[in-house]
Amino acid sequence: MASQKTNEGHYFEDFRLGQMMRHATPRTVTTGDVALYTALTGTRFAVQSSDEFARSLGYPQSPIDDVLTFHIVFGKTVPDVSLNAVANLGYADCRFLAPVFPGDTLSSVSEVIGLKENSNKQTGVVYVRSKGVNQHGVTVLEYVRWVMVRKRDVHAAAPEKKVPDLPKALTPDQIGTACLSIARDKFDFSLSGAPHRFADYEKGERIDHVDGMTVEEAEHMTATRLYQNTAKVHFNQFSEGQGRFGRRLIYGGHVISLARALSFNGLGNAFHIAAINAGRHVAPLFAGLTVFAWSEILDTAALPGRNDVGALRIRTIATKDKPCADFPFKEGEGYDPSVILDLDYWALIPR
């Protein structure tokens, strides 16, 4: 008889509203993680790249890239929330609440806040609110995501249905706490790689980020392992080879990282993601395809009590195998077939 000591993950019928999950295992973030993340994504934002640049602004050292913090916190949740996922569907109400530095230890907890069985009775959507906490008990990140999860038994009774009411966007007074006050007169725009400040951006402006980045099989697998994300749909070709696509999907968070890295060309001084209002993985991405991105400035806002940085509300659209010079989107008609990511977020930039 086989020993029942392994974790097969939760299936949809295993979840209950209000269920709390404390996720294994804590993770101490190191400069090695930062170097590997840079190698996998090509991120170039100066504050996160140079201790000396960060110190000149008043940081004790370079903070961890915000999206790397997100991935580490997210990765902790996978064995309990999305090990048996078909796909991660979206994000909302995501706030970066405190900076993370090399040497900090992060752990994660989640609460189930919504459940909805799909009409095919084979899957359901699980909504969770997850928090990342450092070694001092300080919440550094909080977000909601929803994920489509397989049922173990299609005949199993569905959990109680509830779809949470989530904000469409966070307001400027709800963001910015993870960005320390900076000495804006010390911000070196030649070293940062871009001359543009807060006042240089206008609502409605669109920016083609120009560059493309091809995703390789080895690098997306390395990224998935870096975040300790064990979801079968990204991790296991043996199982996914028998699925509907016949191959592993690129982790949607890796697409966010690539789009964010590409956005440096045009948004090079938007050095800190303060919040994610909404995010949708529109279509799957596979190795061998090339990611492009463009952004629209949805709004600009001053932050209460801050004269060092302002906030840009940005919508970044990522595409596969289609450059973005013509801003593919088809507003009002649905997404262009090339679109893989639609991300709405607040980023901070020197004034």
Q: Is the pLDDT of residue 317 over 90?
A: yes
Q: Band of the pLDDT at 315, cuts 50, 70, 90?
A: very high
> Looking at residue 85, what is its pLDDT?
86
Residue 221 or 1, more confident: 221
Q: Looking only at Cα atoms, what is the longest distance across the chain?
A: 69
DSSP letter for each residue of 105-169: EEEEEEEEEEEEE-TTSSEEEEEEEEEEE-TTS-EEEEEEEEEEEE-S-TTSPPPPPB-----SS
Is the four-CA dihedral 269, 273, 276, 281 of positive or negative sign?
A: positive
Token readout for 73 is 């916190």
Which pLDDT belongs to residue 313? 98
Contact 265, 211 (CB under 8 A): yes
| Percent of all residues in the chain with a pLDDT value above 90, rounded to a whole number | 79
pLDDT per residue over 259-306, tens digit each? 999 999 999 999 999 999 999 999 999 999 999 999 999 999 999 889
Q: Is the confidence at residue 1, as pLDDT, over 60?
A: no
Q: What is the pLDDT of residues 220-265, one digit of tens each?
A: 889 999 999 887 778 778 888 887 888 888 989 999 999 999 999 9
CA distance 301 to 171: 9
Residue-wise pLDDT tens digits, 4-60 = 788 888 999 999 999 999 999 999 999 999 999 999 999 999 999 999 999 999 999
Q: Strands, E, within 29-103: which ranges?
A: 85-96
DSSP secondary structure letters along 246-279: SSPPPPHHHHHHHHHHHTHHHHTT--EEEEEEEE
pLDDT score recorded for residue 255: 96
> How high is the mean pLDDT of the chain?
93
Task: Compute the average pLDDT of residues 171-190.
Answer: 92
Q: In this structure, which CATH number among 3.30.70.60, 3.10.129.10, 3.40.50.300, 3.30.70.20 belongs to the domain 12-350?
A: 3.10.129.10
Which residue in 80, 64, 101, 35 sits closest to 229, CA to CA? 80
75, amino acid identity: G
The answer to whether 256 and 170 have CB atoms below 8 angstroms apart is no
Each residue's pLDDT tens digit, 55-89: 999 999 999 999 999 999 999 999 999 888 888 88
| Under 8 Å between Cβ of 27 and 105 | yes
User: What percent of the chain shows pLDDT beyond 70?
Assistant: 98
- Binned at pLDDT 50, 70 and 90, residue 326 comes out as confident
User: Average pLDDT of 88-95?
Assistant: 92
pLDDT value for 233: 78
pLDDT at residue 331 tops 90 = no
